[in-house]
């Protein structure tokens, strides 16, 4: 019997902190764990995932741009994965992959728990409509946002995401070129990945989107989050949050699913955050 293996799949994937996070969780729980990062170009992902299972793979996290592919490769889906049409957590059981999505739960737990922010009653703007955006859209609605506007460079994808949410009137799509006419928002979430792996290009959007209590969230972390967070600070957002906490919290959800143990996320988050601060200071 091959040794049980776990991994995170993405393209690119060298930046991923997931192996460190899961190693830390495993030390807490006293679990021997083999968890690696596997680069999987979209065209090769099905074959790479199949080889991983044959070699003892028992669970996988999935990041950009593979979440919708992971959905299609799953034999069964949890209700939350089915609702959003994207999978970020795979479990191998009975010779099949079973898909879940822990992104939304991770984001809400980070914002409402770690940052003590109330999402209820906020008018929200979601930038992006890919697998990452799908993972958080339904969770934001469940957390009580008043309404959710979705904007994407490809309007058809925004329309498809809104249709999948099944809440007409409360969730709706808007054109990117018409953002200046949409008023302001109390929550703006960037779920695009344009900056990852390409350097810190500028993020541009009308600053009229921001009001005196706007919370700006980028589900990316590190270098990939810099452009949006810089825009948010320049626009005067009251709170600015990157995706590091979401990353840790969604990983905890997956770890509990695989191992039946809920890890303590605080020390893991604090260590990673302190390291990021040191890197910024060193620069």
Per the CB < 8 A criterion, the answer to whether 219 and 193 are in contact is no
The secondary structure of 110-157, three-state, reads: HHHHHCCCCCCCCEEEEECCCHHHHHHHHHHHHCCCCEEEEECCCHHH
Whole-number Å distance between alpha carbons of 174 and 143: 22
**Residue 152 in marked binding region:** yes
Q: Which of 248, 269, 272, 264 is nearest to 28 (CA)?
A: 264
**Residue 201 in marked binding region:** no
**Residue 43 in marked binding region:** no
**Residue 132 in marked binding region:** yes
**Residue 154 in marked binding region:** yes
**Residue 86 in marked binding region:** no
- The token pair that represents 215 in the structure block: 């919370």
**Residue 263 in marked binding region:** no
67 belongs to the catalytic site: yes
**Residue 78 in marked binding region:** no
Cis before 90 (ω within 30):
no
**Residue 274 in marked binding region:** no
**Residue 57 in marked binding region:** no
**Residue 183 in marked binding region:** no
**Residue 250 in marked binding region:** yes
Per the CB < 8 A criterion, the answer to whether 57 and 50 are in contact is no
**Residue 153 in marked binding region:** yes
Per the CB < 8 A criterion, the answer to whether 168 and 143 are in contact is no
**Residue 72 in marked binding region:** no
Whole-number Å distance between alpha carbons of 254 and 19: 13
Per the CB < 8 A criterion, the answer to whether 187 and 119 are in contact is yes
**Residue 193 in marked binding region:** no
Per the CB < 8 A criterion, the answer to whether 206 and 179 are in contact is yes
Active-site annotation holder among 5, 11, 67, 196? 67
Whole-number Å distance between alpha carbons of 262 and 241: 24
Whole-number Å distance between alpha carbons of 237 and 249: 24
Q: Which of 176, 182, 133, 129 is nearest to 157 (CA)?
A: 129
Binding residues for NADP(+): 128-132, 152-157, 219, 243
Question: Which residues make up each annotated binding site?
Answer: 16-18, 63, 88, 103, 128-132, 152-157, 219, 221, 243, 250
Task: Summarize the annotated binding site for shikimate as residue ranges.
Answer: 16-18, 63, 88, 103, 221, 250
Q: Just list the catalytic residues.
A: 67
């Amino acid at each position: 019997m091959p040794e049980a293996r776990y991994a995170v799949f993405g393209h690119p994937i060298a930046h991923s902190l997931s192996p460190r996070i899961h190693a830390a969780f495993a030390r807490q729980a006293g679990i021997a764990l083999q968890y690696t990062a596997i680069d999987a170009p979209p065209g090769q992902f099905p074959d790479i995932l199949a080889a991983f299972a044959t070699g003892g793979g028992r669970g996988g996290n999935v990041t950009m741009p593979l979440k919708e592919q992971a959905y299609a490769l799953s034999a069964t889906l949890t209700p939350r994965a089915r609702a959003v049409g994207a999978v970020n957590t795979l479990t191998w059981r009975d010779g099949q992959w079973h898909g879940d999505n822990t992104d939304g739960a991770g984001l809400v737990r980070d914002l409402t728990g770690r940052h003590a922010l109330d999402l209820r009653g906020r008018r929200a703007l979601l930038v992006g409509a890919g697998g990452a955006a799908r993972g958080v859209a339904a969770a934001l609605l469940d957390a009580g946002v008043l309404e959710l506007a979705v904007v994407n460079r490809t309007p058809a994808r925004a329309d498809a995401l809104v249709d999948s949410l099944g809440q007409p009137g409360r969730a709706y799509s808007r054109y990117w070129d018409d953002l200046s006419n949409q008023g302001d928002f109390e929550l703006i979430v960037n779920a695009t990945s344009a900056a990852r792996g390409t350097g810190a290009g500028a993020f541009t959007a009308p600053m009229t989107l921001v009001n005196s209590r706007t919370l700006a969230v980028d589900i990316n972390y590190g270098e990939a989050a810099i452009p949006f967070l810089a825009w948010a600070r320049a626009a005067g957002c009251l709170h600015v949050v990157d995706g590091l906490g979401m990353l840790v919290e969604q990983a905890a959800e997956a770890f509990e699913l695989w191992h039946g143990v809920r890890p303590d996320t605080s020390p893991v988050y604090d260590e990673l955050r302190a390291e990021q601060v040191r890197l910024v200071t060193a620069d």
